[in-house]
Amino acid sequence: MTETSQAAACPNDSSSASSQKAGVSLPLFPLGQVLATPGALELLQTYQLSPLSFIQRHVVGDWGDICTEDRQVNADALQYGSRLMSVYAITPTETLWIITEADRSCTTLLLPQEY
């Protein structure tokens, strides 16, 4: 994604050829150090959701609620080593982002307003 604000601007396209619905999938990239912001942790705790389930989706290429254009940006990022981003709608008004840095040194769970 060239700009993080673009995730909100793209129409939702939750279909994905890379989305894994069943079976065990191998990681597509290293996560590096996994971090979470206080807001992300609070959101997950409020809804009793495990961060691991979202991390597992992210690392196998289930990018969540991003548009087709951003899915292609992530596909290119896998090939060329750019930043990867997933967006998961937790409620109609609350969203969790996961960003893995281009150098794969870290992956961060955060809220859009914490970016």
Distance CA 99, CA 85 (A): 5
pTM for this model (two decimals): 0.82
The Cα–Cα gap between 101 and 2 comes to 13
- Dump pLDDT digits (tens) for 2-12: 333 344 445 55
Which is it for strands 33-36 and 84-89: parallel, antiparallel or unpaired?
A: unpaired
Residue 60 in any domain: the answer is: yes
pLDDT tier at 24, thresholds 50, 70, 90: confident
Instruction: With beta carbons less than 8 A apart as the criterion, state whether 16 and 63 touch.
Output: yes
**Domain presence at residue 20:** no
Does any domain span residue 3? no
Give domain status of residue 25, yes or no. Answer: no
21 vs 86 pLDDT, higher one: 86
pLDDT mean across residues, the chain: 87
2 in a domain, yes or no? no
**CA 9 to mean position of chain CA atoms:** 16
Please tell me the total count of domains within the chain: 1
Residue 1 · residue 73 · CB < 8 Å: yes
For residue 84, give its domain range. 34-114
Confidence (pLDDT) at 57: 98
- Asked whether residue 79 is domain-assigned, the answer is yes
